[in-house]
Structure 1
Amino acid sequence: MTIHDPGALAAYLLEALEHEEMRAMQRHLNSCRRCQAEVASLRMARAALEVVPPEAVLDGPPDGGDLLLQRTLGQVRRERDSRVRRNRLVAGAAAVAVAIALGAGGVVLGRTTAPPTVTAQEPGTRTVSGTDAVTGATMSVAVRPAAGWVRLTASVGGIPAGQKCRLVVVARDGSRVEAGSWLVSPAGERDGTALDGFALVAPAEVTAVVVENLDGRRFVEVPL
């Protein structure tokens, strides 16, 4: 098993490795933040794929797909002849990556300025809103639980155009995990920005969500 192998990570996520390989991968994940983030990305993408209509992927991924898609497809091509079983698993991960390339998930933030679409909340979802009295910035965010991580859907307003911002999840122990970042556009300043993201924080450990710029200036924080 190769360290930082997207194919192995996809196989682990699908529980398709041999028993000893699963144990070895789990030991590796316990100490490797890079692979932890990769697994979280694949889980997020897999969840996103569930809401993509089948016809949306009939023609294959678009040209110039994102890095995850390119890396996964490259893995498929390299292993096509010698590792058929693993190839099928990586192909499954590639299908998940197609969902990201088609804009189906929350890996890239700040793509729209309209408020998030209202959908039926999943069990355990926490939705909070708040306005900062000093900055005037507002945020409404839904935090949806997953297996050891969380998905976020937020609407942020009242931040000046040109600000480079990030969405940060605060854990109970005080640690902070970035869920994504974006550049506030003129439309975003005027109408607000709809965001999707994810963070590798256990759902029960999330205590707050913060919007701040890359210099650390806090615009708005909402406790959960």
Structure 2
Amino acid sequence: MTTSHDPGALAAWLLGALEPEEMRAMEQHLSSCRRCQAEVASLRMARDALQVVPPEAMLDGPPEGSDLLLRRTLNQVRSERASRVRRNRLVTAAAAVAVAIAVAAGGAVIGRTTAPSSVTAQEPGTRNVSATDAATGASMSVAVRPAAGWVRLSASVEGIPQGQKCRLVVFSRDGSRVEAGSWLVSAAGAREGTALDGFALVSPADVASVAVENLDGRRFVEVRV
């Protein structure tokens, strides 16, 4: 299957509905595609919102039969081995159902008139850390989420001047480094900060720190994990 800017495949990856080799291919694609990283971040936020919204908070109630339809579709995805074309269609259908459920949940949260819950769903083993560099004035908050032999990162970076070409770098305990993403600081990013999602092939237990550097090697901020 293609991994090039396919929203259905991205949602299926987030649901764990792809084959192992396709999961690996998608992870490799996501490591360098900022557009798809942003799409995954949006899908994850919608999914997390769904997890903390009670059914009674839905403006119109959850999509009728949504849970059952999602389970049935995912079961079909996993059972269809003989026909690649049919399986890909089912993956897309499963992703569409998941996105529809997430969008419905997001609408419920936005439309609520009661005070929003302060509880945020956290994956087991997630580490949330932050730091401010006194010399540069830059600051970063980052959530490091463990995966099977690698980590996912969600970072918020502030205090970096417009026009800087930056990269998010993960350092392991042996001193090696893996780039988790790169970006150009926009005018809005300089004023309000930049939200980032990245991926690094570093064992969760080996992560020592996460840093932001420009392409010339200047370090703006480093957070110990």
Report the TM range for the smaller structure's normalisation: 0.5 to 0.7
Deviations 1:189-214 (A, max 9, x none): 22222222222222111111010011
Structure 1 residues 156 and 91 mapped into 2: Cα distance closer, same or farther (>3 Å)? same
Structure 1 residues 174 and 84 mapped into 2: Cα distance closer, same or farther (>3 Å)? same
| SS of residue paired to 1:215 | coil
Q: 2:28 aligns with which of 21, 24, 37?
A: 37
| SS of residue paired to 1:159 | coil
**Structure 1: distance between partners of 2:119 and 2:190:** 21
| SS of residue paired to 2:188 | helix
Q: Which amino acid aligns with 1:164?
A: K
Displacement after TM superposition at 1:218 (Å): 0.8
What is aligned with 2:159? 158
**Structure 2: distance between partners of 1:118 and 1:155:** 19
Range with greater deviation from structure 2 (143-152 or 202-211): 143-152
Q: Which amino acid aligns with 1:207?
A: A
Structure 1 residues 118 and 164 mapped into 2: Cα distance closer, same or farther (>3 Å)? farther
**Structure 2: distance between partners of 1:35 and 1:169:** 20
What is aligned with 1:195? 196
Structure 1 residues 86 and 178 mapped into 2: Cα distance closer, same or farther (>3 Å)? same
Does structure 1 residue 171 correspond to structure 2 residue 172?
yes
| Mapping 1:58-207, distance limit 5 Å | 83-88=84-89, 91=92, 119-207=120-208
Does structure 1 residue 218 correspond to structure 2 residue 219?
yes
Q: Which amino acid aligns with 2:183?
A: W
Displacement after TM superposition at 1:217 (Å): 1.1
Displacement after TM superposition at 1:179 (Å): 1.6
**Structure 1: distance between partners of 2:188 and 2:144:** 25
Q: Which amino acid aligns with 1:162?
A: G
Displacement after TM superposition at 1:149 (Å): 2.1
| SS of residue paired to 2:88 | helix
Displacement after TM superposition at 1:88 (Å): 4.1
Query: Is the CA contact 1:37–1:200 (under 8 Å) kept in the aligned structure 2?
Result: no
Could you tell me the percent identity over the aligned residues? 65
**Structure 2: distance between partners of 1:194 and 1:15:** 27
| SS of residue paired to 1:190 | helix
**Structure 2: distance between partners of 1:95 and 1:179:** 28
Structure 1 residues 5 and 122 mapped into 2: Cα distance closer, same or farther (>3 Å)? closer
CA RMSD of aligned residues (A): 4.3
Displacement after TM superposition at 1:158 (Å): 1.4
Deviations 1:82-104 (A, max 9, x none): 744543466469759x89xx9xx
Deviations 1:54-106 (A, max 9, x none): xxxxxxxxxxxxxxxxxxxxxxxxxxxx744543466469759x89xx9xxxx
Q: Identify the structure with the greater helix proportion.
A: 2
How many corresponding residue pairs? 165
**Structure 2: distance between partners of 1:191 and 1:92:** 37
Q: Which amino acid aligns with 2:162?
A: A
Query: Is the CA contact 1:161–1:184 (under 8 Å) kept in the aligned structure 2?
Result: yes
Query: Is the CA contact 2:30–2:199 (under 8 Å) kept in the aligned structure 1?
Result: no
| SS of residue paired to 1:204 | helix
Displacement after TM superposition at 1:171 (Å): 1.7
| SS of residue paired to 1:154 | strand
**Structure 2: distance between partners of 1:39 and 1:180:** 10
Structure 1 residues 38 and 89 mapped into 2: Cα distance closer, same or farther (>3 Å)? farther
- Structure 2 spans left out of the alignment, 5+ residues: 4-11, 51-82, 104-117
